[in-house]
Structure 1
Amino acid sequence: MTTISCTYTGDLHCEATHTGSGATLSTDAPLDNEGKGEAFSPTDLLATSLATCMLTIMGITARSRDWSIEGASASVDKLMSSDGPRRIETLRVTLQLPEALDDDQRALLQRVAEQCPVKRSIVPLINAEIHWA
């Protein structure tokens, strides 16, 4: 079990500490929801979680086969709902793999990325659009 300790530090900011490693991160409310946009918003972190989870799962698969995917990248666009309660409606992830990979390697990495734990946790509540560049 992993524990993350979170503290409200004022002015819509929070600090989170990963108790296992001591790593910290800060959040702020976004500009469109009374914040200053000085850090990741909580919903930005969810978007980031999806993209980094997909890259990590591909990295695990690549490492187990002694392939290099260094330089693989992802960008994610977060679209919030425009009506009803405020929530993430869609996450559009664009992933790019290194050129040196062959078609079979790419196909396997794309399959495992689509099965990452974050994606499995949020779909169908959030639409996750995955694009490959």
Structure 2
Amino acid sequence: MGTITTRLVGEMLFESQMGQHKLMIDVPPSMGGSDRAPTPPEIFVASLGSCVAAFVAQYCNRVGIDASGLEVAIIFDKADNPTRLTNLRAVITLPHGEYGNREEALRRVAEHCPVHETITTLGGVTFEFHDAKDEALV
């Protein structure tokens, strides 16, 4: 089981620790943020885009398609009540590669990245709360 821990470091700025890596996260100005780092939804979308890009690049390298300059743009809408992202669409561009009749294979590869699989199969998230009286979770 993996664990990524996110801590408030001050003034609505957060730091997530994942192994040896740290990632700073800010919130929108409407929530008290100051545009010092990406917001959680931006990181979520970037996670999807980078996961798709990695899987597509790996497939292209394996079958001899030029993946140099590969770009994955995730286009999305924002909705309210509840606040969420909707209509996510991944636009994959291979500016130097020709995939010929492999578009369906590329689509299957992109759909199998773990972030996409999680989005499409996750039934929900369980929340646990601990306060000063509880023992530390981690």
Which range, TM-score by smaller chain? Answer: 0.7 to 0.9
Q: Unpaired runs of 5+ in structure 2?
A: 123-138
For the 8 Å contact 1:26–1:39, the answer to whether it is kept is yes
Q: 1:70 matched to which residue of 2?
A: 68
Instruction: Give the aligned CA root-mean-square deviation in angstroms.
Output: 2.3
Q: Unpaired runs of 5+ in structure 1?
A: 126-133
Structure with more strand by fraction: 1
TM-score (norm 1): 0.75
One-letter amino acid of the counterpart of residue 69, structure 1: A
User: Whose relative contact order is higher, 1 or 2, with alpha carbons under 8 Å and at least 6 apart?
Assistant: 1
TM-score (norm 2): 0.73
Q: 1:92 matched to which residue of 2?
A: 89
Q: 1:46 matched to which residue of 2?
A: 44
For the 8 Å contact 1:4–1:17, the answer to whether it is kept is yes
Is the partner of 1:123 in helix, strand or coil? helix
Q: 1:35 matched to which residue of 2?
A: 33
* CA distance in 1 between partners of 2:85 and 2:60 (Å): 31
Choose the corresponding residue for 2:113, options 111, 116, 124.
116
* CA distance in 2 between partners of 1:32 and 1:57 (Å): 35
* CA distance in 1 between partners of 2:70 and 2:96 (Å): 9
Q: How far has the Cα of 1:121 moved from its partner? A: 1.6
